[in-house]
Amino acid sequence: MKNSLAIALGTSLLACADRAVSDPPEIVSTAEQAVITQCPYLDPLDPSFYGGPPVSFGSEILITGVGVVDDPCRTSWTGSCAGGGTQGIWTFGELMIRMAGTGAPDVLAAEWLHQWEIPIVVNGFPVPPRPTIRPLVIDPWLVASGCPSGSPITGPGACKLDLKKAPFRVLAISNRVDLECAGYTGAGDGEARFVFGVLDSSGNPLRAAVIFEYKLPPQRGGAPYTAATWEKDWHALSTMPIGSPPYMTVLQGILDDVTKVGALPGGPNLGTSIGQVRTNEIDFGGAPWKLRETRLIPGSGIPGGDLLLATTTAETPDDSMNMSGPLDSYLASNAALLATFQQKPLPPPLSGGESSAPLAGPPPFWNHTPPSPLAPIERHHFGFNTCNGCHTLETTTGFLHVGVRPTGSPSPLSPFLSTSTATGGGGLPSSALVVTDPAGTGATFKYNEPWRRLCEASRMLQGAKSCWSRANGAH
């Protein structure tokens, strides 16, 4: 392929298991990541070029501007709303209220938190408690709610958590219309996401983050909506100064229609569009980092309202499956597909309820030290598509793709999400993130994820219906 630069799968901000789409196989070098030719929608010399206002990564794709995430009205319950906006609408507490439907939002939050305090079993795999969550998060929140430290938060005698005192800070707001191309979301039209950092009793950031991942509803204002229709609405943000009153009004309108009760008819708890809530943390129980995923489970709430309960982490085996016979069998049968990121979904019996990052013990990455039964590109693609692989060695990331932050400062982004989108001409970026295979093979893999997302958004604005990038970024 001419003029090629490797561009990889659109990952989630805190987890990367966005499932692959089916596509004809493509010849791939074992020394480099599968490649994509120029993006015609970002090439002024290509007839397909989208010639409207350019898509701004920081304005409409991954929003971390302090003027947005520290908005005194929308991101707090006490700040001024003099510039317009709805009080607290982007807070953890308000999103829990909406997610609960007619259920009790404080119970929803408490039952979700309690799962880190107790041993649980997910898909037959034990998930141990992370006991430091009690002194770092739960007890300070109880005290702020007017309850004694050490009070139960679930069951008889539970003390009610005040959702307006929830110890979470907005880190980022993300437009993931590109997930239309990943075969991942149930609605098929991408997602909108809120990323939160967890705070200690003094309001300082802990090494912990939470992400609310909402399916983009198939309608808005009574009209049918697709990923492309949503992108047109998001794109208005790139024509306005970030954080300006018009910008904030448009962004609030989009997010309100995604998160409101009834946004997804037929969804749980009166139609919430939440797909999953994921967490990445180290401070709840020490190293290694742990990643979990929770979903609303039908019929779990007593009385009324489904609860957020632990599920398997998407496309990620339980840690104990590394270098095991069942996993090796799956990998061997999918080796040819892994070369182009088309592997079949992970067999359910292999999926665990918690992922460690990096994997404990040698090797601290998925599959084998050399000689591996897989080619480097095959091994890397599998590891990259797991939650813990993507958040560590397979992308040279220090775990969080969107880092925690103090108030007044933007969140630091991982190298994977901060690669420059400056053009090198011909519909190609001038920069790439180069990853050396952690398995020690010497193979390298190249990425420019921000550019890939710009390409897909621009493609939608052009009206082209076929995804330009495959799940691994290859055209």
For position 130, what pLDDT does the model report?
98
- According to DSSP, residue 393 is labeled G
For position 474, what pLDDT does the model report?
53
pLDDT digit string (tens) for 378-413?
Answer: 999 899 989 999 999 999 998 999 999 999 999 999
Residue 444: Cβ-neighbour burial (10 angstroms; 0-12, 13-18, 19+): middle
The CA distance from 460 to 377, in Å, is: 30
- Which of 247-251, 293-297, 382-386 has the least mean pLDDT? 382-386
The CA distance from 38 to 36, in Å, is: 7
For position 183, what pLDDT does the model report?
56
For position 47, what pLDDT does the model report?
87
CA 70, 207, 172, 56 dihedral sign is: positive
Checking if the pLDDT of 196 tops 50, the result is yes
* Mean pLDDT of all residues in 436-454: 90
The CA distance from 390 to 397, in Å, is: 8
Checking if the pLDDT of 126 tops 50, the result is yes
For the chain, what percentages of helix, strand and coil (3-state, to nearest 5) are there?
Answer: 30, 20, 55
Checking if the pLDDT of 147 tops 50, the result is yes
Question: Tokens 């992370």 identify what position?
Answer: 130
Checking if the pLDDT of 374 tops 50, the result is yes
SS3 state of residue 198: strand
Look up residue 2 and give its two tokens.
Answer: 């001419």
The CA distance from 76 to 84, in Å, is: 14
Checking if the pLDDT of 79 tops 80, the result is yes
SS3 state of residue 467: coil
Give the residue among 286, 270, 308 at the shortest CA–CA distance from 112.
Answer: 308
* Mean pLDDT of all residues in 121-132: 98
Checking if the pLDDT of 472 tops 80, the result is no
The CA distance from 5 to 189, in Å, is: 27
* Mean pLDDT of all residues in 280-294: 96
Q: Where are the beta strands (DSSP E) in 325-471?
A: 355-357, 423-425, 428-429, 433-436, 444-447
pLDDT digit string (tens) for 44-55?
Answer: 888 888 888 999
Checking if the pLDDT of 9 tops 50, the result is no
- DSSP annotation string for 418-443: H----EEETTEES--EEEE-TTSS--
Checking if the pLDDT of 368 tops 50, the result is yes
Checking if the pLDDT of 360 tops 90, the result is no
Checking if the pLDDT of 5 tops 50, the result is no
Give the residue among 141, 60, 45, 132 at the shortest CA–CA distance from 93.
Answer: 141
